[in-house]
Structure 1
């Protein structure tokens, strides 16, 4: 699990960049697992702002962040869409 503080920071940064949806996935959603990083999948970040958005997450959160762009469709993004937990949007 991730802290409520990190969740609020993710929501605030996502709102700033007009993100449509953020899904939490991986070890970050396991209730009794101490996640070493935060796995996020995002939809709606403008391509020109994607790296700025990721940078703010990276420097603003308490753990390293992995970000998957849901606009790049694959089996992996389909899996995340089915199993991920909506954090924003």
Structure 2
């Protein structure tokens, strides 16, 4: 397949878009991802894959905070966490995700 075909069939939306692009080794603009970047990414992801997990609920909350902070205002995300039975936003999360850039 050529780069042009890959780019036409590629989507930049959704949770799997990045993983699919990495698997192809092609960025969204059609340029190849340098092998050294792919090697480092795979090395770090391999380390992460072997890390002991603390529980599904903790991981869900972490993902909700990390991704939700990009899309949802602080007060609203905090209330949604509480309503769902998760711990509210921590001061360090507020500072990191909502503090000055």
TM-score, normalisation: structure 2? 0.28
The structure number with the bigger radius of gyration is: 2
Greater helix proportion: 2
Higher RCO, 1 or 2 (CA under 8 Å, sep at least 6)? 1
Greater strand proportion: 1
